[in-house]
A and B are shown apart, each in its own frame.
Chain A
Amino acid sequence: MQIPYTVTVRPDTGLYNAKLGIWLFLASEVMLFGGLFSAYILLRSGATSWFVGSEELSVPIGTFNTFVLILSSVTVVMSWASLRMNDLKKYKMYMGLTILLGLVFLVVKVLFEYMPKIEHHHIPSSHNFFAIYFVLTGLHALHVVGGLIVNGYLWGPGSKMWDTDPEQFLNRIEVAGLYWHFVDIIWIFLFPALYLL
């Protein structure tokens, strides 16, 4: 059976199905992170004492990781642009860079942030600050892991589709890119909220 509207535009929505699908998914993600962000505001404004983010967390490491994610947003959009220029080699290079940058983000996060904190017993049960810090950044990190799996597939075995159905493959890259940018946007809000304020 042929899956409809993977490439052609559906007349009533004006979009191919995956595009509408990813935006619906991202809308639900806005509410997921929004709920936790709201919890952070409530916990903080209801607390009698709260930590100053910049004293408990490393601003240089957080800033570094912000740059890493922003850069990966550029590389993923460049991979899509490369495919539109029929350049599979360049696509692979840019998508490979995106995956590499995602890995750098995770390694820095775990080795230089989570591990030292756990060693100092700065864990979710020690204070609400660390509870909401670990939940928000942990959920975000899981989203990075999910993106890495999808991007890894599209960089490796999934890229065979370029030979059989290039238009659908191009759409897959666009949709995966939309998700990856969203994960970047979440971090853009988490960084100042947790590290700087």
Chain B
Amino acid sequence: MDVTQDLKKEINLYLKVFGALAILTAVTVAVASLKVGIGFAIIIAMVIAATKGSLVASFFMHLAHEKRLIYLLLVITLVLLLALFFITYGTIGDQVGVEIVS
């Protein structure tokens, strides 16, 4: 009896998360049509995407309650991912916006 009760709560939560994801999708499309500056637009779009991604990961992939080993694995992945972004970007960072002359 208890298990079913818990599961019903869980299903309720899934539906709430779905609602939040739907609203955030509408918000990101609406903000994009406002034509704000590109820098600001990138920040807003990526913050919303990261929020949606965390909602899926935390609740649908139940990362909110997971074993330590998986957290460790994901922290390492995140560090490597950021290194991938910033080290490669760093190699051209000083050339952005400069016209290539051959």
Chain A interface residues toward B at CB < 8 A: 13-15, 19-20, 23-24, 27, 30-31, 34-35, 37-38, 41-42, 45-46, 48, 54, 59, 63, 66-67, 70-71, 73-74, 77-78, 81, 84-85, 177-178, 181-182, 184-185, 188-189, 191-193, 196-197
Contact = CB atoms under 8 A, between A and B. Distances in A.
B38 to A, nearest CB: 7
Given A85-B7, A192-B46, A197-B32, A46 B60 contact: no
Nearest to A186: B53
A77 B29 CA distance: 26
Contacts, number: 123
Query: Which of B22, B28, B29, B73 has the largest number of chain A CB atoms within 10 A?
Result: B29
A184 B77 contact: no
Contact of A20 (B7, B38, B70, B77): B70
Query: Which of B32, B33, B38, B41 has the largest number of chain A CB atoms within 10 A?
Result: B32
Contact of B14 (A15, A66, A77, A196): A77
A84 B100 CA distance: 60
Interface of B: 3-4, 7, 10-11, 14-15, 17-18, 21-22, 25, 28-29, 32-33, 38, 41-42, 45-46, 48-49, 52-53, 56-57, 60-61, 67-70, 73-74, 76-77, 80-81, 84-85, 88-89, 92, 95-96, 99-100
A46 B91 CA distance: 11
Nearest to B97: A45
A197 B47 CA distance: 13
A17 to B, nearest CB: 12
Contacts of A31: 77, 80-81, 84
8 contacts: A31-B80, A70-B25, A74-B15, A78-B11, A181-B61, A193-B49, A196-B29, A197-B45
A54 B70 CA distance: 37
A70 B18 contact: yes
Given A63-B25, A74-B18, A77-B60, A15 B69 contact: yes
A73 B22 CA distance: 12
Contacts of A30: 77, 81
Contacts of A37: 85
B21 A70 contact: yes
A24 B73 CA distance: 7
